[in-house]
Amino acid sequence: MQRIYLDSNATTPVHPEVVTAMLPVFTEDYGNPSSIHWFGQHAKALMDDARTQVARLINGETSEIVFVSGGTEADNLAIRGIAESQKSKGRHIITSTIEHHAVLHTCRDLEKQGYEITWLGVSADGLVDPEDVRRAIRPDTILISIMHANNEIGTIQPIEEIGKIAEVADVYFHSDGVQSTGKISVDVKKLKVDLFSMSAHKIHGPKGVGALFVKKGSVLKPQLTGGGHERNRRSGTENVAGIVGFGVAAKMAREGMGSEMDRVKELRDRLESGLKKNIDLIRINAENAPRLPNTSNIMVDYAEGEGLVISLDLKGIAVSTGSACSSGSLEPSHVLTAIGKTPDEAHGSLRFSLNSMNSVQDVDYVVEVLPRIVDRLRELSPYYKRA
Ligand SMILES: *Cc1c(COP(=O)(O)O)cnc(C)c1O
């Protein structure tokens, strides 16, 4: 069966050029970058090339990139690292209700440890109001953590405005940039972030590798003790092959940013207009907010999200309902409830997330297949005919 992958916010296929660059690192260039001999120094040079590529993608300095095991670790290192290094100054942290679980659950854990968290709500479009951030700042506030782009609905937060507020207040500012990196242009200097999380596998790199941008001068308490790798910020022998792959993926993302993402946006818009034309009673979440070019989150009234995902899967189409982390559980998506949807509405949502390897044919197939699936599911709904 022909299979179409439209779940790129969960993960992406590794680009063949990334694989090609990684392979020799397993077999020939296998040195430990901490070793002083040729093998070690060669591995270190490969790793530092990758560091430069990742830094360039976000306009940071090479020395400001700390390689970690992925977005989840980057978020943990940023938040726990600041919380622990700054606790003598204060224990108050500001974040939002639509963060990824890696931020949400980390903040909840800190809450249990005695930190105080202000959870900012968002507008119906899924946006944090920078004025809310300003108002929440107190003398004991040590960290603001607001994601750049949301993984479920794709909204892009006003990070630059929040960055200015954080700078004036002299409070550390972290942003989870896992979804924005490589999809929209990111300039950490302009955004005024001190910490910025990234993950390779969301941009055609391998799983299990990511990076935290740590602005020069930031004081983080390391979360792993050991040999003092990554300039004492993250101990553990680096995942050199993964890092090399991440470097190539970052370079490709930077070079293709404009053209590839324009094409992806056209596909996304074609999908949305096709679905709106062929299915009645659907709504696109955050349709008019600043959004990632690849993400479409739609709500199909009188049809259940899980049923839609399963029916689409039987037709070879992979999408998700809510975030990958919350699928399989009956909890409605915390992001959709935060933008004011009822649990029923949240359960009827579908997330399409595209990448540059998708085609017009992929999108047209969904537009052809989904209306029939929706019709069939709605026939089973006791409420639909009365509408
Ligand atoms: C995927 C994702 C993460 C987690 O990254 P991993 O590398 O899978 O640990 C964190 N934040 C956001 C917004 C994500 O989309």
Name all residues whose Cβ lies below 6 A of ligand 1: 9, 70-72, 75, 100, 102, 147, 151, 176, 178-179, 199, 201-202, 210
The per-residue pLDDT for 386 is 56
> What angle, 0 to 180 degrees and rounded to 10, lies between the N-to-C axes of helices 240-278 and 360-379?
60
Q: Are residues 192 and 166 in contact, defined by beta-carbon separation less than 8 angstroms? A: yes
Active site residues: 325
3-state helix, strand, coil in the chain (%, to 5): 45, 15, 40
The per-residue pLDDT for 325 is 43
The C-alpha atoms of residue 36 and residue 311 are separated, in whole angstroms, by 56
Three-class DSSP category at 353: strand
List 156's β-bridge partners, or say none: 149
- 178 Cα: distance to centroid of ligand 1 (angstroms): 6
Q: Whose CA is nearest to atom 12 of ligand 1?
A: 178
From the CA of 147, give the closest atom in ligand 1.
13
The per-residue pLDDT for 326 is 46
The per-residue pLDDT for 387 is 54
Same domain, 203 and 289: no
Same domain, 248 and 272: no
How many of the other CB atoms lie within 10 Å of CB of 87?
Answer: 16
Q: Which residues of the chain register pLDDT less than 50?
A: 323-326
Strands 92-96 and 65-68: unpaired
pLDDT digits (tens, 9 = 90+) for 330-367: 688 999 999 999 988 888 899 999 999 999 999 999 99
Same domain, 187 and 322: no
Three-class DSSP category at 248: helix
Same domain, 223 and 278: no
Closest CA to 183 of 13, 358, 9, 19: 9
Contacts of 334 (CB under 8 A, 6+ apart): 97, 98, 104, 326
What is the torsional sign of CA 352, 106, 128, 204? negative
Same domain, 229 and 158: yes
Task: Count how many domains the chain has.
Answer: 2
The per-residue pLDDT for 322 is 65
Same domain, 267 and 337: yes
pTM, two decimal places: 0.96
Same domain, 280 and 137: no
Same domain, 72 and 171: yes
Q: Whose CA is nearest to atom 3 of ligand 1?
A: 71
The per-residue pLDDT for 328 is 55
CATH classification of the domain holding 303: 3.90.1150.10
Question: Which residues form the domain of 368?
Answer: 4-11+257-385
Q: What is the number of helices (H) and of strands (E) in the chain?
A: 13, 12
- 199 Cα: distance to centroid of ligand 1 (angstroms): 7
Strands 195-199 and 172-176: parallel
Same domain, 275 and 324: yes
Largest CA distance in the chain: 76
Pocket test for ligand 1, best of 100, 147, 175, 209 (most atoms within 8 A of CB): 100
Same domain, 212 and 282: no
- 373 Cα: distance to centroid of ligand 1 (angstroms): 30
Of the residues 198, 222, 252, the one at which a domain ends = 252
Same domain, 152 and 287: no
In what order do the strands lie in the sheet containing 195-199? 65-68, 210-214, 195-199, 172-176, 141-145, 92-96, 116-120
> What is each CA distance from 355 to 68, 154, 255, 291, 293, in whole angstroms?
24, 13, 15, 15, 9
From the CA of 102, give the closest atom in ligand 1.
10
Q: Whose CA is nearest to atom 6 of ligand 1?
A: 71
Closest CA to 349 of 274, 276, 282: 282
CATH classification of the domain holding 149: 3.40.640.10
Same domain, 114 and 192: yes
Of the residues 252, 284, 305, the one at which a domain ends = 252
> What is each CA distance from 190 to 82, 163, 193, in whole angstroms?
21, 9, 8
Of the residues 183, 218, 252, the one at which a domain ends = 252
